Structure 1
Amino acid sequence: MLTFFSEDSRLRRARTELHDGALVSPFECPERIDLVLRHIRQAGFEVRTPEAYGLGPVHAVHDADYVSFLETCWPSWQAAGHEGEAIPNIWPARSMRSDHVPRSVSGKLGYYALGADTSLCEGTFSAAMGSKDAALGAVAHTLHTQAPSFALCRPPGHHAASDQFGGYCFFNNAAIAAQYALDAGKRRVAVLDVDFHHGNGTQEIFYTRNDVLFASLHGDPEVTFPYYLGYADETGAGEGQGYNLNFPLPPGTSVAAWMQALEQALAAIQAQECELLIVSLGVDIFEDDPISAFTFKSADFIALGERLAQAGLPTTFLMEGGYAVEEIGVNVVNVLQGFERESPQDR
């Protein structure tokens, strides 16, 4: 399976993450890329550098002022004399105004952040640009050839909303790729999110639209990040009513129960006559992932890939989460090889 990857994805190397009350080294780190790449190459997949697509596809789904903030935050943070990485410490909470963006970089940081988990550092904007280029290169390949593709995106994207970053995400790669496909002539696109954490950003971007069906299988937000979105009663609004499907699942959910939810999601994708499948591929559903709570073993990812191939749609996989570093590459490749095993004509 053709893989797209930008070396610019390495340019973000954050040192700080707030996790369970402690400042720790981020779980999302450049080393994840090397582990996946090693197994991708061992599997014989070609790795291709994407072209630079610029900011046009980004602006198609993200607020222009938000994009400008991401581009200028780090130099502005340094110019303000701050020594550490850019981490927000206040937000426009329910008791405050949310209709005004402060001039201060500290105020802007809180305005555009979902939480304090994700720092901004040198290289963040360039890495996010490279990540979305990989996504666009992959989906463009699938649109042109009908063959499946994989984008090794880093940073990931599904937590990034139209004007907010968080959960290690800055640009929403899946949303950018889906909009690109629509602009290329597709009538309706499906985004299937199998990451352990709900793709709140993708949901927010498409919630009132019927040209993208968003379906997410994820940990129950009652007890799982991002907590404030991802409930089953969130089914879309306006023209988007019925085009947002959430399958919140409790910690410890078995693979069999998870696959039953997948069947429901795929049935909806088929019923809505989607013409392209974009998979937000988070392999943090693995049993030993350090910040997740599902029960997939490495062999189960093969079955996942096989079942996705049976949907019979042109498919692009985009890398999201997965933090069990020793197994992440194995699990990614198992999905992709399982998919190809079930659809050998698309190789």
Structure 2
Amino acid sequence: MKAILDPRQQAHDPAHFMAYGVMKPNPERPERIDILRRGAEAAGCDFSVPEDAGLGPIAALHSPEYLTFLQTIHARWCAIDGAGPEVISHVKPGNRGDSYPRSALGQAGYHQTDTSCPINADTWGSAYWSAQTAITAAGLIGGGERSAYALCRPPGHHAFGDLAGGFCFLNNSAIAAQCLRDKGLRPAILDVDVHHGNGTQGIFYDRDDVLTLSIHADPAEFYPFFWGHAEERGAGRGRGYNLNLPLPRGTGDAPFLAALDTALDRIRAFGTDVLVVALGLDASEDDPFQGFQVTGDGFARIGAAIAGAGLPTLFVQEGGYICDSLGHNLTRVLGGYRDAAV
């Protein structure tokens, strides 16, 4: 399987995020790239660097206002007397109206859903090349490859069109799907991260040309809390084109795979001709977030089930945090897909 990664994705090194009122080390560490690369190579992936497609494919889904913010906010933040080294706003609007604040603090609050997406001097560059990784990998699929893996870091599925959140800044999976849509294909995005892909859902919620599906821990008691409930089915033209499959915390292999069967049935019903898998590995029984209890064998079966759909498939890396089985679980997913697709 061909795989894409740019070394500049490793530069973003967030120091902290706030959880339950406590500043903690940020789990979205640069070392994830080394672990995941080894896991992908163990499954037979051959890595190359992305081409630079420019801002166009990114700006197709993210507003110019938001992209300007991401590119300029850190320098503006550092000019504030007494500001910390990372952009983390303590001001959050209860309802974002038509007005747009001029201040750096106000704009940070406007564009950051939570405190888990601090912005430093290297954030924009890493996020940009993470998106370019997904764009180049989508080009491989659009050019006839049956499968590809985009090692995207920072991840993307919590990023809306003008909002960062949950360690995410640019929505790599959504950008890749839009690139494939622009080629005349009919993509579905299947999100298997333990956290709901709220940004992806938000971007496509009123559209009927991209199907979005997410299997995740029930947001009644798990991040992102305000999105990902089963009744969220899309709006307007998009009604019925979004499927959420929330599962109880502690879910293991069998119920997860049953939900995956349901998702694959919906993917077939959409007439999907290309599949983007938002590949979170944090459903693992070993992951620090402890949302699900999926085993290594379960990840291999997930890969095999996805291969059974018989569609050209782009795997875009989302979550999955540092633990002993992280790289192994990626090997199992991609290896399970490879073996079942032969």
Q: Same fold (TM over 0.5)?
A: yes
Correspondence 1:215 to 2:213: yes
Deviation at 1:211, TM superposition (A): 0.5
Correspondence 1:13 to 2:9: no
Correspondence 1:180 to 2:195: no
Judge conservation of contact 1:35–1:325 (CA < 8 Å) in 2: no
Judge conservation of contact 2:146–2:311 (CA < 8 Å) in 1: no
Query: Deviations 1:123-173 (Å, cap 9, x if unpaired)?
Result: 000000110111111111011123200000000000000110010000000
Could you tell me which residue of structure 1 aligns to residue 309 of structure 2?
311
- Residue type of the partner of 2:30? P
Deviation at 1:83, TM superposition (A): 3.1
Could you tell me which residue of structure 1 aligns to residue 103 of structure 2?
104
Correspondence 1:203 to 2:204: no
Stretch of structure 1 that moved more, 19-28 or 208-217: 19-28
The one of 306, 328, 331 aligned to 1:330:
328
Correspondence 1:68 to 2:79: no
3-state DSSP of counterpart to 1:3: strand
Deviation at 1:85, TM superposition (A): 1.2
Stretch of structure 1 that moved more, 16-25 or 282-291: 16-25
- Residue type of the partner of 2:140? H
What are the equivalent positions in structure 2 for 1:21-32 lying under 5 Å apart?
A: 21-32=21-32
Could you tell me which residue of structure 1 aligns to residue 93 of structure 2?
92
Could you tell me which residue of structure 2 aligns to residue 298 of structure 1?
296
Could you tell me which residue of structure 2 aligns to residue 237 of structure 1?
235
- Residue type of the partner of 2:150? A
Q: 1:312 to 1:43 in 2, by over 3 A?
A: closer
Judge conservation of contact 1:157–1:172 (CA < 8 Å) in 2: yes
Deviation at 1:122, TM superposition (A): 1.5
Judge conservation of contact 1:35–1:326 (CA < 8 Å) in 2: no
3-state DSSP of counterpart to 2:34: helix
Distance 2:106 2:287 in 1: 34
What are the equivalent positions in structure 2 for 1:21-60 lying under 5 Å apart?
A: 21-60=21-60
Judge conservation of contact 1:8–1:127 (CA < 8 Å) in 2: yes
Distance 2:223 2:274 in 1: 28
3-state DSSP of counterpart to 1:145: coil
Stretch of structure 1 that moved more, 38-47 or 124-133: 38-47
Deviation at 1:36, TM superposition (A): 1.1
Regions of 4+ moved over 3 Å? none
Deviation at 1:84, TM superposition (A): 2.7
Judge conservation of contact 1:3–1:150 (CA < 8 Å) in 2: yes
Distance 1:328 1:56 in 2: 33
Distance 1:280 1:331 in 2: 15
Distance 2:297 2:114 in 1: 34
Query: Deviations 1:170-217 (Å, cap 9, x if unpaired)?
Result: 00001101111111111x210000000000000000001111000000
What are the equivalent positions in structure 2 for 1:186-197 lying under 5 Å apart?
A: 186=185, 188-197=186-195
Correspondence 1:320 to 2:321: no
Distance 1:43 1:252 in 2: 27
- Residue type of the partner of 1:24? K
Identity rate, percent = 42
Deviation at 1:297, TM superposition (A): 1.0
Judge conservation of contact 1:288–1:324 (CA < 8 Å) in 2: no
3-state DSSP of counterpart to 1:223: coil
Distance 1:43 1:234 in 2: 36
3-state DSSP of counterpart to 2:114: coil
Stretch of structure 1 that moved more, 77-86 or 64-73: 77-86
Could you tell me which residue of structure 2 aligns to residue 274 of structure 1?
272
- Residue type of the partner of 1:19? A
Deviation at 1:324, TM superposition (A): 3.6
Deviation at 1:254, TM superposition (A): 2.5
Distance 1:113 1:261 in 2: 31
Deviation at 1:19, TM superposition (A): 1.9
TM-score (norm 2): 0.97
- Residue type of the partner of 1:85? E
Could you tell me which residue of structure 1 aligns to residue 147 of structure 2?
148
Distance 2:42 2:264 in 1: 30
Count of matched residue pairs: 341
Query: Deviations 1:256-314 (Å, cap 9, x if unpaired)?
Result: 11111111110010011011100000000001111132111112111110000000100
